[in-house]
């Protein structure tokens, strides 16, 4: 089999020509991971994952997306040329530690790409872990919803090995090069998120008050009339909050922590996280799957 050696100053160096297809491990194929896997399969990459212990929904995604299930994590790590971590910000470090344990028992040294929108501190911690065992690490984040992959979502990557990812997948995804600083992709995603998530927090707080005063429909009508472009922008994000609000809370807390650690203002980031927590605790989004902005905001009448 052909394997690859990674170098800070070069891309892949092919050691033999027996292998004709790169093996990409996607851990794991949830909503985002499945769309990324489908795009890779479409471009003739072999995509593998470890289905052991995963949910019924994830197993369905594996079966229906052209992904090969190696079943166990160790086998996945041993076969992969590239590992894409797509878990969650709060689970990414644990996943990295699991990878380290698996990699210590194999000579394989795949490119490890974390796409979990981590805080800069966590990204740097992971880089340190992988560097200690000579595994090249790329920090990354996906800008956009899973449904936007691959045509509209943007993959932001940073670190000294980022060019390896860019060279391999430039024909598959839209990619933004955030530079050599490992933590740069994290800062990029979090700061971008502060704008669109801050806007949703503003509307959520406004609608909470409007519902209290019994004027939610009237206010919505006026806001749509005077701010049509804003409502058009909200179409892309607001209906996703019932399903993903816990992740949004984690992201905004991570942003607030990043800003605090750098001695920067963090009032809006902290307030956005607090607003989302209040909405989550109210349970108004429980069992809801709205299709539009107005339908989502109607939940504030509860």
Whole-number pLDDT of residue 10: 38
Q: For residue 36, which of 147, 196, 163, 162 has the smallest C-alpha distance?
A: 147
Whole-number pLDDT of residue 6: 55
CA 162 to chain centre: 17
Whole-number pLDDT of residue 13: 43
Q: What is the DSSP string of 111-179?
A: EEEE-S---HHHHHHHHHHHHTTT--EEEEEEES-GGGTTTT-EEEEESTTHHHHHHHHTTTSEEEE--
Report the C-alpha gap between 225 and 19 in whole angstroms. 59
For the chain, residues with pLDDT lower than 70 are 1-20
Q: What is the DSSP string of 244-257?
A: HHHHHHHHHHHHHH
What are 228-267's pLDDT values in tens digits?
999 999 988 899 999 889 989 988 998 998 899 899 999 9
CA 216 to chain centre: 33
In whole angstroms, how far apart are CA 156 and each of 82, 153, 178, 185, 200? Answer: 17, 10, 6, 6, 23
Q: Are 172 and 150 in contact (CB under 8 A)?
A: yes
Whole-number pLDDT of residue 254: 85
Whole-number pLDDT of residue 149: 96
């Amino acid at each position: 089999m052909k394997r690859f050696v990674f170098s800070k100053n070069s891309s892949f160096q092919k050691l033999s020509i027996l292998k004709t297809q790169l093996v990409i491990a996607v851990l794991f194929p949830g909503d985002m991971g499945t769309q990324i896997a489908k795009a890779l399969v479409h471009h003739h990459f072999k995509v593998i994952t470890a289905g052991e212990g995963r949910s019924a929904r994830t197993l369905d995604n594996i079966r229906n997306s052209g992904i090969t299930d190696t079943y166990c994590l160790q086998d996945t790590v041993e076969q992969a040329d590239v590992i894409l971590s797509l878990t969650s910000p709060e689970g990414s470090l644990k996943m990295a530690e699991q990878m380290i344990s698996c990699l210590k028992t194999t000579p394989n040294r795949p490119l490890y790409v974390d796409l979990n929108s981590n805080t800069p501190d966590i990204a740097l911690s992971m880089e340190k872990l992988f560097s200690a065992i000579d595994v090249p690490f790329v920090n990354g984040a996906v800008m956009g919803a899973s449904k936007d992959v691959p045509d509209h979502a943007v993959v932001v990557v940073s670190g000294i090995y980022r060019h390896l990812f860019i060279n391999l997948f430039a024909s598959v995804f839209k990619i933004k090069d955030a530079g050599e600083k490992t933590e740069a992709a994290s800062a990029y995603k979090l700061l971008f998120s502060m704008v669109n998530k801050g806007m949703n927090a503003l509307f959520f707080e406004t609608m909470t008050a409007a519902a209290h005063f019994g004027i939610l429909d009237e206010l919505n009508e006026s806001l749509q009339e005077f701010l049509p472009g804003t409502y058009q922008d909200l179409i892309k994000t607001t209906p996703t909050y019932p399903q993903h609000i816990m992740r949004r809370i984690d992201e905004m807390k991570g942003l607030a922590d990043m800003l605090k650690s750098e001695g920067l203002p963090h009032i809006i980031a902290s307030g956005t996280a607090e607003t989302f927590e209040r909405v989550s605790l109210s349970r108004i989004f429980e069992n809801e799957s709205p299709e539009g902005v107005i339908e989502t905001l109607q939940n504030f009448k509860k």
